[in-house]
């Protein structure tokens, strides 16, 4: 399973990079290969601006990694186990467009194994999801993104979309701000073999969601990338990006896992946007488009 899934994410990385370069039109991804001293490594691909800032994407990364070795003590406590070996691989992406009219997007699909002293697999699971973080609310974009997620889920189980949509709203919640990071999507974790789903079934589901990513995001970028915007709207985008940073550094389990397993710091913090503002006690104008977004973030909506 680990070889099968790692081959899949290598191919998916190629597909997503090609799709994003096509919609950007000018910028290209650069590639870094890296190795983890304790075992494994990864392939980081990053896009930044374009020639003279002409690109659609100000900063983004589409990264894959496969790491293995002894489970660190901090992770042993998290999983409630003693000394063990582990293997983890996944694709993680975050795209920060330059225009505040184009939403930020995040996605991740991952697989984990843990072994006993004899090398037998004692635990294995899949996790992942994809979610949208706009700066201005276009309801048709939210509906398109969620409908694409639902279509992928429904091919496997009609209960998956409402379940994983709810988990996404719950997970990407900035508790210290009492608001969602964005408009959600899907979030699933610890997907293990059970009476209804084998590991092969989970593989088919997770790859279905992964294959839906470009369909979920690219049409939104195409619709919004040429809209004009003001300096004030750009400032609002940078203030909202601050909330994105807060979530990733305070709450995100993936960031935590990378930091505690001696992951590559540049790849882990690739998710942070290049230009951010923290304005003291900022509140949007009453009745404004900015306030409309805040209202939706404070009260997650059913989009389908």
Q: What is the pLDDT of residues 224-254, one digit of tens each?
A: 999 999 999 999 999 999 999 999 999 998 8
Dump pLDDT digits (tens) for 94-120: 999 999 999 999 999 999 999 988 888
Dump pLDDT digits (tens) for 108-155: 999 999 998 888 898 999 999 999 999 999 999 999 999 999 999 999
Active site annotation includes 106: yes
Sign of the Cα torsion 65, 69, 73, 76 reads positive
The matching CATH number, chosen from 3.40.1500.10, 3.40.50.11900, 3.40.50.2300, 3.40.50.720, for 2-276+287-298 is 3.40.1500.10
Dump pLDDT digits (tens) for 7-60: 999 999 999 999 999 999 999 999 999 998 889 999 999 999 877 777 999 999
Give the span between the Cα atoms of 88 and 301, in whole angstroms.
33
Give the span between the Cα atoms of 244 and 3, in whole angstroms.
33
Give the span between the Cα atoms of 49 and 114, in whole angstroms.
40
Q: Label the pairing between strands 173-174 and 40-48.
A: unpaired
More confident residue, 233 or 262: 233
Average pLDDT for residues 67-76, to the nearest whole number? Answer: 83
For the chain, how many residues are written?
304
Sign of the Cα torsion 273, 274, 279, 285 reads negative
The string of DSSP codes covering the chain is -HHHHHHHHHHHHHHHHHHHHHHHSS---EEEEEE-TTSEEEEEEEEE--GGG-SSEEEEEEEEEEEEEEPPHHHHHHHT-SS-EEEEEEEEEEEEESSTTS-EEEEEEEEEEEE-TTS-EEEEEEEEEEEEE-SS--HHHHHHHHHHHHHHHHTT-TTHHHHHHHHHHHHTEETTTTEESSSEEEEEEEE---SS--HHHHHHHHHHHHHTHHHHHHHHHHHHTT----HHHHHHHHHHHHHHHHHHHHT-HHHHHHHHTT--HHHHGGGS-SS----TT--PPTTSHHHHHHHHHHS-----
Catalytic choice (106, 156, 176, 283): 106
Enumerate the domain spans of the chain: 2-276+287-298
pLDDT at residue 262, as a whole number: 73
Average confidence score pLDDT of the chain: 94
Give the span between the Cα atoms of 171 and 173, in whole angstroms.
5
Name the percent of the chain lying above pLDDT 90.
82
Residues 6+ apart with CB under 8 A from 201: 156
């Amino acid at each position: 399973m680990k070889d099968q899934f790692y081959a899949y994410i290598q191919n998916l990385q190629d597909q997503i990079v090609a799709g994003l370069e096509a919609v950007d039109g000018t910028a290209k991804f650069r590639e870094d290969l890296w190795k983890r001293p304790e075992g494994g490594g990864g392939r980081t691909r990053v896009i930044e601006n374009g020639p003279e800032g002409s690109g659609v994407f100000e900063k983004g990364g589409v990264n894959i990694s496969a790491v293995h070795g002894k489970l660190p003590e901090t992770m042993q406590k998290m999983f409630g186990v003693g000394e063990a070996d582990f293997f983890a691989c996944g694709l993680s992406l975050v795209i920060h467009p330059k225009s505040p009219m184009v939403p930020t997007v995040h996605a991740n699909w991952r697989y984990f194994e843990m072994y006993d002293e004899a090398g037998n697999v004692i635990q294995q699971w899949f996790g992942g999801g994809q979610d949208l973080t706009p700066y201005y609310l276009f309801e048709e974009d939210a509906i398109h993104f969620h409908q694409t997620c639902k279509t992928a889920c429904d091919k496997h189980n009609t209960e998956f979309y409402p379940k994983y949509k709810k988990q996404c709203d719950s997970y990407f919640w900035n508790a210290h701000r009492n608001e969602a990071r964005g408009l959600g999507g899907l979030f699933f974790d610890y997907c293990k073999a059970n009476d209804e789903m084998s590991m092969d079934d989970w593989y088919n589901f997770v790859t279905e969601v992964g294959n839906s990513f470009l369909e979920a995001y690219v049409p939104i970028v195409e619709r919004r990338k040429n809209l004009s915007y003001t300096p004030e709207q750009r400032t609002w985008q940078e203030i909202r990006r601050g909330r994105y940073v807060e979530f990733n550094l305070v709450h995100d389990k993936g960031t935590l896992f990378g930091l505690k397993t001696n992951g590559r710091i540049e790849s882990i913090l690739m998710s942070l946007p290049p230009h951010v503002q923290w304005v003291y006690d900022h509140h949007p104008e009453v009745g404004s488009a900015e306030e409309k977004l805040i209202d939706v973030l404070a009260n997650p909506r059913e989009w389908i």
